[in-house]
Copies of this chain bind each other. A is one copy, B any other.
Amino acid sequence: MTTRRYLEDFAVGQVFGSDSYAVTVDNIKEFAGQWDPQFFHVDEVEAEDSFFQGLAASGWHTACITMRLLVTGELRPAGGMIGAGVEELRWFRPVRPGDVLKVRAEVVDTRAMRSKPGYGIVRMRVETQDHLGETVQTFTTPLVVRGRGD
């Protein structure tokens, strides 16, 4: 919980892990009811006759689970986890009740920010996997990370 990583502590190839998150019928429906209220995310019976052929988590639910696992996981940049955006978010298969997700985040690039002295960008490739190790989602995100400022 305590160690925070500054810009200078990141290097290409480092990998950070996370806890896990169990996807259930109830949390699929609760999330979707708020943010993605479509029949294939909120009704098991109607979902059978949908593109997903059964209840599926909203892709944004998977993205939010991923963010939660990143924030509570091993990465812990100094100043907090601040994404400037998201590049190429892809969903590979529907996430279903019973899936248990975890996240693997790998540093793919680091650089100083010219526009904001004292800060840098750490680009992370973030992979969300199920309990069998199958990838369900990937994205790359440039994180804004504080330098040590010695």
Contacts and interface: CB of A to CB of B under 8 A. Distances in A.
Number of copies: 2
Interface of A is mostly: mixed
A91 B84 CA distance: 6
Among A38, A58, A79, A86, find the residue whose CB has the most chain B CB atoms closer than 10 A.
Answer: A86
Contact of A36 (B39, B40, B71): B71
A88 interface: yes
Contact of A71 (B38, B63, B71): B38
Q: How large is the interface on A (under 10, 10 to 19, 20 to 34, 35 or more residues)?
A: 35 or more
Contacts of A144: 51
Contacts of A36: 64, 67-68, 71
Interface string A34-69: 111111100000000011000000111001110110
A72 interface: yes
Contacts of A84: 90-91
Contact of A80 (B51, B65, B80, B139): B51
